[in-house]
Structure 1
Amino acid sequence: MALATRRNGKLWPEVERLPHPQGRLPLLGDVRTATPATPMQGAMKWARELGPIYHAKLPGFQMVVVSGADLVAELVDESRFAKHVGFGIDAYRPVTGDGLFTAYNDEPNWQLAHDILMPAFSREAMRRYHGAMLGCVERLIDAWDKQCGGPYVDVVGDMTKLALDTIGVAGFGYDFDSFSRPDLHPLVAAMISTLQHSTKTPIARWLGRRRNEESVRYMHRLVDEVVRKRKESRDTGVQDLLGAMLNTEQEGTGRKLSLENIRYQILTFLIAGYGTTAGMLSFALYFLSTHPEALKKAQREADEVLGASGGAPTFEQVAKLRYIRRVLDEALRLWPPAPAFLREARHDTTLGGHPMRKGAWVVVLTPMLHRDPVWGADVEAFDPDRFLPEAVRARPGHAYRPFGTGLRSCIGRQFAQHEATLALAMLLHRYEPEGEPGYELKVSEGGFFMPAGFRLRLTRRTPQAPVAESGLSAGVGPADRT
């Protein structure tokens, strides 16, 4: 039996021998049990019913879905498997072209951009971005101060504004000034529209192509204007991502990125930057609002670390926010904003004993990987202590993959993690968040997982005096790195 691959646009038929949803229909496949509005949560439901590997089929499309940790242990082997650009990723290429996320493995601009941009995500680069990140969080705080004791705040909307402003200011020197407007910046609407378009069936994409083309043209015009203004400024520095892309040559070749590719990279960072950080923060605030003991621990740590700095942590202090980092890691485990990554076979091989031909590809369903039995009992429970150093050491590393894997994993993960840790600590230091009575978590899929309709009522709190040796920040593990 061979797993799915593309050959002349078709998949190998043998995959139908794998477990598949009940009630499959001729031609229509699994539409009877599919959930078009929430396809990834539908895939999670199928995984619970069918196990760690299954085959799904819809009109014009089919895929093999993997979530078992043992199978993922094979898939993360870079000598056997590589990133696969398909299942909606390739449909997003009109927006981001051969940018880091949507480039095919054999396209030269991926390696060129990776070499040029890696130094822009180093620890020293994070130190340069810290001030801009801090300024953007302070804008959010200014907005939230005005709503303390008043109406509930739209958490996802405000976290999206924060994330978009941060990547714009810190990465490209462009200020979206999101908190000066009542609604989200039009760029966000365009990004969400194109993300949704990319995950539709081929027929649905064809029907919606004109509207999508308009959104793409708008995004390209906006980014091209940002680049044009920077070039006209004659700034030759490399202090941010745009400066690095405009002014850095690849070592050994002297090559630089084209203006077209810079456009694609900027849109890649904007989309990935807003979705990942906004989702991570929104889910973290949701879980803290429903777990009072975890909230108290996180606030106590924020008070200990931020007390001496008046609520604005230095770059070095962010690394001390270890429990808050564990809160974010656990939120990413349960609801990773990007819920899947794709792998393809580099050569003829096997997966879980199934023959798999070169080019065959599978979807790794990250939320279900993060619920594999290797995580212990009650995998649905929110427990930041899963990320204590000793727990991390006892668990296989491949069981946690919120940022993908291998050479093509998310290059900006340190940026997102530093920003989110900084922001969450400052918010918990300043506010007592209260969830809306009766709210039940509903996860939306507008390109990224988000807690739909989640709102908070805010009350200003009085930070507690630091308590020496509380133990909250003890230990150093993966969750401590920034």
Structure 2
Amino acid sequence: MTQAQAAPRTGTPKGFRSAELSWPELHRIPRPPRRIPFLGDVLGADVSAPVQDSMRFGRRLGPIFRRKAFNNEIVFVWGADLAAELADESRFAKHVGLGIANLRPIAGDGLFTAYNHEPNWQLAHDILAPGFSRAAMEGYHPLMLDVARQLTSHWDEQASASRPVDVPGDMTKLTLETIARTGFGHDFDSFERPTLHPFVNAMVGALSYAQRRNTVPPVLSSLLLRGATKRNVVDREFLNSTVDQVIEARRANGEAGSRDDLLDMMLRTAHSETGERLSTENIRRQVLTFLIAGHETTSGALSFALHYLSRNPAVLARARAEVDEVWGDSPTPAYEQVPRLRCIRRILDETLRLWPTAPAFSREARHDTTLGGLHPMRQGAWALVLTLLLHRDPAAWGENADEFDPDRFTPKAVRARPAHVFKPFGTGARACIGRQFALHEATLVLGLLVRRYDFTADPAYRLKVAERLTLMPDGLRLGLTRRTAEARSEA
């Protein structure tokens, strides 16, 4: 996004308002059978994987359904037609609820977690939008290449020793270093460490804690989450202090205004119309937002993509042939060569279709309205769009919607599909501001990896997906073999 868009304006956030009050005819919406008083729809529920659990219920109950846990009743939507309605910005806006609201103690009114009425969202968006322009992206490209070289150097060592690589762990290191260096001029030295940086551990802890709070009733949270809450306080303090050190180092070294990265923009830029500037506290919140959201989702997308490529040799061969043709033997592909990898981009899109690493987003009614011509919603009523299931709706994607097929994203196939059925980055004015950054980084890295390595999958491995607000393959390891120049020329 290169142009600021007006922030949606709705009333004061209503939090987890009763679904019975905000959806007047809630009884029309299917729910699981055998609801237990006070506990809700807990029979057969899997609290360790609530999103995938809701996906399972959604397949049985239909394109709109509801689930209740204790006093919270949530309306889920995944049907393509209903999701298209919820994408209408004149009727609906982003709703900050569930796990997103649980991140506000860390990210506050950052771009991802701000309520619609909070002015810092629009201020930060207007200030930061130029940081995701084409010119800015071209400036980030060399730094992305440098971090990718750190990854391939590490993978070369693993390949030489015939050791499998920890795909999610290494993708996390890669994407954290990329956003930290391009956006904030900071190096976490991730590839110099035998384990993940403590910042990553604190971040994963914070995300996991936010997810757990979704499944525990507030009246019991002080008891059931006592230890986790104490750890979360420590994690939050570590995240804050780390970012404060990055900001203060930039100021102390007199470098503000010299790097022209995201941190510079926040430190030196006033709003072009109002003259307002971001406060130090809000700058910290924005940095945390980018460090967390800017690497967590991309690392998941790359990990899932490598999983599918390792198990689909024909797709891998096509992708590799494209990279060899477009890039040749150049060790440093130019910025403009990356978008030419159309097959790689289709692989990433298909990966994000099957496993959107941000698996859901919430929408709330701007005014009283009716969804699907059948379900009245009062102003402020909200629904959770289950992207994970929307992307598998047979009405939009066909009866084989659970199969991996990058050709779903050929130009002809995309034109033939209805709008609003592919939403890995959310929707509307509050959609992910860093979408093009993430896609350029992921396309570049995946192109480099398929050109350099053959992948060997563990035949005993079955994809297991970990949930910590975002989705990530759990326990995915791959064997590597360096491709030789002869193998590239024969391909």
TM-score by length of 1: 0.93
Task: Tell me if 1:114 matches 2:125.
Answer: yes
Number of residue pairs matched by the alignment: 463
Offset, 1:465: 5.7
SS of residue paired to 2:385:
strand
Could you tell me which of 4, 16, 20 is aligned with 1:12? 20
Is 1:38–1:445's contact at 8 Å kept on the other side of the alignment? yes
Task: State the match for 1:49 in structure 2.
Answer: 60
Structure 2: runs of 5 or more not aligned:
1-12
Is 1:238–1:244's contact at 8 Å kept on the other side of the alignment? no
Work out the CA distance in 1 between the residues paired with 2:407 and 2:489.
22
Offset, 1:182: 1.2
Give 1:417-432 correspondences, 5 Å limit: 417-432=439-454
Work out the CA distance in 1 between the residues paired with 2:32 and 2:113.
30
Deviations 1:126-151 (A, max 9, x none): 10100110000000000000011511
Work out the CA distance in 1 between the residues paired with 2:124 and 2:72.
32
Letter in 2 for 1:276: T
Is 2:99–2:469's contact at 8 Å kept on the other side of the alignment? no
Is 1:88–1:198's contact at 8 Å kept on the other side of the alignment? yes
Give 1:323-472 correspondences, 5 Å limit: 323-352=343-372, 353-372=374-393, 373-463=395-485
Work out the CA distance in 2 between the residues paired with 1:314 and 1:430.
17
SS of residue paired to 1:243:
helix
Give 1:71-82 correspondences, 5 Å limit: 71-82=82-93
Work out the CA distance in 2 between the residues paired with 1:136 and 1:383.
30
Offset, 1:15: 2.4
SS of residue paired to 2:35:
coil
Task: State the match for 1:171 in structure 2.
Answer: 183
Letter in 1 for 2:20: W
Task: State the match for 2:239 in structure 1.
Answer: 219
Work out the CA distance in 2 between the residues paired with 1:205 and 1:212.
13
Offset, 1:60: 3.2
Is 2:16–2:72's contact at 8 Å kept on the other side of the alignment? no
Letter in 1 for 2:19: L
Is 1:342–1:364's contact at 8 Å kept on the other side of the alignment? yes
Work out the CA distance in 2 between the residues paired with 1:8 and 1:30.
17
Work out the CA distance in 2 between the residues paired with 1:39 and 1:287.
23
Give 1:42-191 correspondences, 5 Å limit: 42-149=53-160, 150-191=162-203
Letter in 2 for 1:231: R
Work out the CA distance in 2 between the residues paired with 1:7 and 1:182.
42
Task: Tell me if 1:239 matches 2:263.
Answer: no
Offset, 1:100: 0.2
Task: Tell me if 1:22 matches 2:43.
Answer: no
Is 1:156–1:278's contact at 8 Å kept on the other side of the alignment? yes
Closer, same or farther in 2 for the Cα pair 1:202/1:89, shift >3 Å? farther
Is 2:28–2:375's contact at 8 Å kept on the other side of the alignment? no
Work out the CA distance in 1 between the residues paired with 2:14 and 2:53.
23
Work out the CA distance in 2 between the residues paired with 1:53 and 1:368.
11
Offset, 1:8: 8.3
Is 1:27–1:59's contact at 8 Å kept on the other side of the alignment? yes
Task: Tell me if 1:249 matches 2:261.
Answer: no
Could you tell me which of 42, 46, 50 is aligned with 1:39? 50
Closer, same or farther in 2 for the Cα pair 1:466/1:326, shift >3 Å? farther
Letter in 1 for 2:282: N
Work out the CA distance in 2 between the residues paired with 1:233 and 1:418.
31
Offset, 1:274: 1.6
Task: Tell me if 1:259 matches 2:271.
Answer: no
Letter in 1 for 2:177: D
Work out the CA distance in 2 between the residues paired with 1:103 and 1:205.
24
Task: State the match for 1:473 in structure 2.
Answer: none
Work out the CA distance in 1 between the residues paired with 2:239 and 2:16.
32
Offset, 1:11: 3.1
Work out the CA distance in 1 between the residues paired with 2:233 and 2:459.
41
SS of residue paired to 2:481:
strand
Work out the CA distance in 1 between the residues paired with 2:16 and 2:363.
19
Offset, 1:392: 0.8
SS of residue paired to 1:294:
helix
Work out the CA distance in 2 between the residues paired with 1:407 and 1:84.
12
Task: State the match for 1:475 in structure 2.
Answer: none
Letter in 1 for 2:288: L
SS of residue paired to 2:417:
coil
Letter in 2 for 1:329: D
Work out the CA distance in 2 between the residues paired with 1:292 and 1:108.
50
Offset, 1:446: 2.3
Is 1:128–1:239's contact at 8 Å kept on the other side of the alignment? no
Letter in 2 for 1:91: N
SS of residue paired to 1:397:
coil
Is 1:115–1:250's contact at 8 Å kept on the other side of the alignment? yes
Letter in 2 for 1:148: A
Letter in 2 for 1:142: S
Task: Tell me if 1:272 matches 2:293.
Answer: yes
Letter in 1 for 2:313: P
Work out the CA distance in 1 between the residues paired with 2:50 and 2:488.
47
Task: State the match for 2:7 in structure 1.
Answer: none
Structure 1: runs of 5 or more not aligned:
471-482
SS of residue paired to 1:146:
helix
Offset, 1:10: 3.2
Work out the CA distance in 1 between the residues paired with 2:101 and 2:396.
32
Work out the CA distance in 1 between the residues paired with 2:20 and 2:287.
36
Work out the CA distance in 1 between the residues paired with 2:290 and 2:242.
14
Work out the CA distance in 2 between the residues paired with 1:39 and 1:17.
23
Work out the CA distance in 2 between the residues paired with 1:358 and 1:325.
39
Work out the CA distance in 2 between the residues paired with 1:321 and 1:170.
22
Letter in 2 for 1:275: E
Offset, 1:16: 4.4
Could you tell me which of 286, 306, 320 is aligned with 1:299? 320
Deviations 1:167-217 (A, max 9, x none): 011110000110111111111111111112112234365433322111111
Work out the CA distance in 2 between the residues paired with 1:7 and 1:415.
31
Is 1:306–1:429's contact at 8 Å kept on the other side of the alignment? no
